[in-house]
């Protein structure tokens, strides 16, 4: 009687195991590729969102530049470009004729309230002066905070401890609104979160992967003193370029654009701004090398030859509170 063979031979078993291993390798490779592709997509989507948000934020603040409440501010143009870091009432008043101010492609920080370590070399700095749209009652003003009250062609700018100086009234005799006054300084920092303290220090920042970040300096009161406080706004913003539209004939429309207005009078006549941002991914992309060049208005950036993907954003913004008054 002939016995039939049952089960598998060693050769068949080895072939089956080999096929199974090959299938496992293929499936693992697909899973890894899909995971990388998803991570890269998420990274790029975050970059797009960050770039758009940064542009929206800056454009929105610029549209409020020169908002000084219910009246118009009249005053002589300062003899020299004012120090944006000044905290005295006199210094703040002197700078009112310049709702915007800037510094172009500085090698190091040109202002005292911004340490070199927190400033990314070769980027622009944008200064915006404005009253906040919120209002305060004269009896609830914060001691060292600056406030602005205006009505018609008159205005009062003082700190909260001098509440009695805000004496302007409306036509009906009621007190004119009092607005907190703000000086905002926008800049690019080499990192978002320093490894220690408040100053960026290098490779150890942001958990070992420093991310260039759009930040804002603004005066903040602790109830007794005023201090410049830095706020990180948008990570991954690699470059900021600003061109200023100068109105040379007083009709409210910009006649020429420059990144470096040559005189204080030119700064006082800025009625629009062209904003240019370069945003990058916050994480490297495996196997990618950025060999592109990016046009940011009147300058070109790149190639960086690193592993970060980038995208350029541009927008023209009209300074409504400046140009609108000139059209009347």
Which tens digit of pLDDT belongs to each residue from 264-311?
999 999 999 999 999 999 988 888 999 999 999 999 999 999 999 999
Dist CA 51 CA 43 (whole Å): 12
At residue 126, the 3 state secondary structure works out as: strand
pTM, whole model, 2 decimals?
0.88
Q: What is the pLDDT of residue 7?
A: 62
Confidence of residue 64 (pLDDT cuts 50, 70, 90): very high
- Residue 279 CB: number of other CB atoms within 10 A? 29
pLDDT(39) > 80? no
Percentage of the chain lying above the pLDDT 90 cut: 72
Q: What is the pLDDT of residue 3?
A: 59
Q: What is the pLDDT of residue 29?
A: 77
Confidence of residue 10 (pLDDT cuts 50, 70, 90): confident
Q: What is the pLDDT of residue 168?
A: 95
Contact indicator for 99, 66 with CB cutoff of 8 Å: yes
Q: What is the pLDDT of residue 26?
A: 82
Q: Is the N-terminal amide bond of 303 cis, ω within 30° of 0? A: yes
Query: Could you tell me which residue, 21 or 146, shows the higher pLDDT?
Result: 146
Confidence of residue 2 (pLDDT cuts 50, 70, 90): low
pLDDT(44) > 90? no
Q: How much is the average pLDDT of 177-198? A: 96
Contact indicator for 238, 296 with CB cutoff of 8 Å: no
Max CA distance (Å), the chain = 122
Percentage of the chain lying above the pLDDT 70 cut: 95
Half-sphere exposure (Cβ direction) of 67: Cα atoms closer than 13 Å: 17
Q: What is the pLDDT of residue 290?
A: 96
Confidence of residue 319 (pLDDT cuts 50, 70, 90): very high
pLDDT(33) > 80? no
pLDDT(1) > 60? no
Contact indicator for 310, 238 with CB cutoff of 8 Å: yes
């Amino acid at each position: 009687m002939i016995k039939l063979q049952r089960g598998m031979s060693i050769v068949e078993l080895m072939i089956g195991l080999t096929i199974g291993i090959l299938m496992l390798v293929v499936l693992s490779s697909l899973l890894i590729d899909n995971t990388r592709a998803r991570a890269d997509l998420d990274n790029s989507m975050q970059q797009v969102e960050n770039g758009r948000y940064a542009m929206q934020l800056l454009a929105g603040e610029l549209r409020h530049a020169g908002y000084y409440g219910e009246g118009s501010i009249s005053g002589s143009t300062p003899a020299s470009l004012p120090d944006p870091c000044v905290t005295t009432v006199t210094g703040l008043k002197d700078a009112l004729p310049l709702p915007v101010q800037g510094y172009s492609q500085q090698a190091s920080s040109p202002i005292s309230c911004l340490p070199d370590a927190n400033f990314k070399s070769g980027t622009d700095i944008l200064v915006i002066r404005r009253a906040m749209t919120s209002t305060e009652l004269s009896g609830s003003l914060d001691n060292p905070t600056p406030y602005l009250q205006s009505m018609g062609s008159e205005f009062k700018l003082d700190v909260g401890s001098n509440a009695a100086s805000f004496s302007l009234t409306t036509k009906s005799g009621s007190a004119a609104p009092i607005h907190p006054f703000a000086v905002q300084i926008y800049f690019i920092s080499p990192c978002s979160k320093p490894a220690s303290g408040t100053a960026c220090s290098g490779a150890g920042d942001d958990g070992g992967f420093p991310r260039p970040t759009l930040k804002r300096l603004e005066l903040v009161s602790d109830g007794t003193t005023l201090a410049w406080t830095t706020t990180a706004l948008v990570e991954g913003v690699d470059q900021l370029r600003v061109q200023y539209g100068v109105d040379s004939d007083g009709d409210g429309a910009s006649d020429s654009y420059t990144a470096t207005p040559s005189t204080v009078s030119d700064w006082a006549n800025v009625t629009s701004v062209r904003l240019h941002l370069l945003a990058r991914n916050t994480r490297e992309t495996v196997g990618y090398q950025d060999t592109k060049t990016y046009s940011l208005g009147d300058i070109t950036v790149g190639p960086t030859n690193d592993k970060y993907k980038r995208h350029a954003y541009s927008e023209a913004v009209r300074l409504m509170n400046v140009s609108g008054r000139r059209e009347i």
